[in-house]
């Protein structure tokens, strides 16, 4: 097995804090985008990172305000995701809390919006290899030809297992061509 990028000639080096793990730019519609840890000590092995960051530019073929959902470690039942949110559209604001059998939900653009309008979201998943419940935040925004919105969320996934798989789904709709998904690993500081 080859050494990870932060070991050079057997010596720990302080490389970039964010490491690009994977990127998907869809040329065809897709129902789900999945990342799975490679478990080989290389870039795609989630076990070497403290945190994960996901940057998404998405649109689905669903109706207006379609929802994007995230599943961690293929957990899809049991109301194991909790979240609190703030929402604003320039004229009103609201707050809510909820428990679901999915997490990381946010609204994006759909077939009711203009053809080239995409929503965006940045996920932060913290301390992904710890033995505690996993915390995450995500912020999303979109422009709907004059009726834009912003959303801020904080949530917990009630699993003590390390995160080894992440699935993003269009909640019954397909992500359209042109959507982009980037996964980054955040390394701990390697040297003093």
Render pLDDT for 70-129 as a digit per residue (tens, 0 to 9).
Answer: 999 999 988 999 999 999 988 899 999 999 999 889 888 888 777 788 999 999 999 999
For residue 126, what are the β-bridge partners? 135
Residue 133 DSSP SS3: coil
Lowest mean pLDDT segment, chosen from 31-35, 65-69, 125-129: 65-69
Check residue 14 and give its pLDDT.
74
> Where do we find the tokens 């799975």?
36
Torsional sign, CA 122, 135, 72, 183: positive
Instruction: Give the residue from 58, 81, 186 showing the smallest Cα distance to 133.
Output: 81
Residue 164 DSSP SS3: coil
Check residue 4 and give its pLDDT.
67
Q: Give pTM, 2 decimals.
A: 0.89
164 token code pair: 């080894």
């Amino acid at each position: 097995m080859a050494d990870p990028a932060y070991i050079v000639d057997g010596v720990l080096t302080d490389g970039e804090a964010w490491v690009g793990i994977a990127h998907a730019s869809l040329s065809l519609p897709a129902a789900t985008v999945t990342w799975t840890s490679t478990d080989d000590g290389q870039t795609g092995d989630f076990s070497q990172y403290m945190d994960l960051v996901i940057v998404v530019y998405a649109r689905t073929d669903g109706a207006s305000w379609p929802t994007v959902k995230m599943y961690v470690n293929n957990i899809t039942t049991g109301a194991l995701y909790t979240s609190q949110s703030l929402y604003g559209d320039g004229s009103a604001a609201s707050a809510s809390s909820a428990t679901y059998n999915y997490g990381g939900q946010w609204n994006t653009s759909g077939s009711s919006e203009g053809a080239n309008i995409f929503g965006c979201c940045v996920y932060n998943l913290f301390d992904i290899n710890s033995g505690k419940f996993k915390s995450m935040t995500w912020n999303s925004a979109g422009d709907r030809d004059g009726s834009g919105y912003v959303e801020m969320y904080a949530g917990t996934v009630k699993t003590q297992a390390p995160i080894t798989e992440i699935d993003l789904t269009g909640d019954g709709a397909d992500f359209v061509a042109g959507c982009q998904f980037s996964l980054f690993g955040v390394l701990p500081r390697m040297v003093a």
